[in-house]
């Protein structure tokens, strides 16, 4: 009799809905493991705090899970695994970071001006902002930038709720998880995946996590921030081994 496996939960990034994962889920299905995969929406209700987001995940996620996070989803996955390691079998962080914004002692993020611009654009023209971001996450990958089918898919899975978008921007601006990254014997096995041409989350952020967790970093040469779309097969190969 086959042993019951912990499901795999995929947490998406800012600006998108769970459908961003569909290429990875399809690739996993082709490998015979898609029935074990869940793709919930991020807990991003209006004015939600980090603690409330983690509480929501605590209540909604399975008792044990292989937790996968991309971009902002990776930050929340990292926070959840750090606070509740007993709930996580393995942790996979894709194109993620412990701290999205640059700070006085952290230069592997983005300048404050980027999110200032995003905040203003969200108030003035959310659709234009999301279209711009859909282009930005592919920047650095020439093939992905020119892929019309990929462009159509991105626009089809963008987040349209302004409150969820605003809460996500607040999380990106305020989350700093470096203090949660101290080595811990109870920490789950960690997998890191990052594109070398990522213009949203610099590769240096994953290099910091690699050193902090003493775990290998899977570098995807020429990969942009949009790895779940552009390199779904490679990601699926890695995730399938965890299941």
Report, as residue numbers or ranges, the catalytic residues: 71, 198, 225
Joined tokens for residue 138: 């592919």
CA nearest to 232, candidates 8, 68, 23: 23
SS3 92: strand
Q: How many helices (H) and strands (E) does the chain have?
A: 11, 6
Q: What are phi and psi of 48, to 5 degrees?
A: -70, 140
CA nearest to 15, candidates 122, 100, 120, 93: 122
SS3 67: strand
CA nearest to 166, candidates 122, 111, 110, 109: 122
Q: What's the order of all strands across the beta sheet hosting 37-38?
A: 37-38, 8-11, 65-70, 88-94, 189-195, 217-220
CA nearest to 131, candidates 159, 160, 155, 165: 155
Task: Give Cα separations from 230 to 12, 14, 99, 141, 218 (angstroms).
Answer: 15, 17, 24, 9, 15
């Amino acid at each position: 009799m086959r042993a019951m496996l912990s499901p795999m939960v995929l947490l998406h990034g800012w600006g998108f809905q769970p459908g961003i994962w569909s290429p990875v889920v399809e690739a996993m299905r082709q490998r015979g493991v898609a029935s074990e995969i869940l793709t919930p929406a991020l807990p991003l209700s209006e004015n939600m705090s980090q603690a409330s987001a983690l509480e929501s995940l605590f209540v909604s996620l399975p008792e044990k899970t292989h937790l996968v996070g991309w971009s902002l989803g990776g930050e929340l996955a990292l926070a959840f695994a750090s606070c509740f390691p007993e709930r996580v079998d393995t942790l996979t962080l894709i194109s993620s970071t412990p701290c999205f914004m640059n700070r006085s002692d952290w230069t592997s993020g983005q300048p404050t001006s980027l999110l200032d611009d995003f905040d203003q654009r969200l108030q003035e023209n959310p659709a234009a902002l999301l279209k711009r971001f859909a282009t930005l996450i592919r920047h650095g990958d020439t093939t992905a930038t020119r892929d019309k089918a990929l462009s159509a898919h991105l626009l089809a899975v963008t987040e349209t709720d302004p409150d969820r978008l605003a809460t996500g921007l607040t999380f990106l601006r305020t989350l700093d998880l470096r203090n949660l990254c101290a080595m811990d014997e109870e920490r789950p096995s960690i997998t890191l995946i990052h594109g070398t041409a990522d213009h949203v989350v610099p590769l240096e952020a994953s290099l910091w996590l690699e050193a902090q967790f003493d775990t290998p970093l899977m570098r995807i040469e020429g990969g942009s921030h949009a790895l779940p779309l552009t390199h779904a097969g490679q990601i699926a190969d890695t995730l399938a081994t965890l299941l």
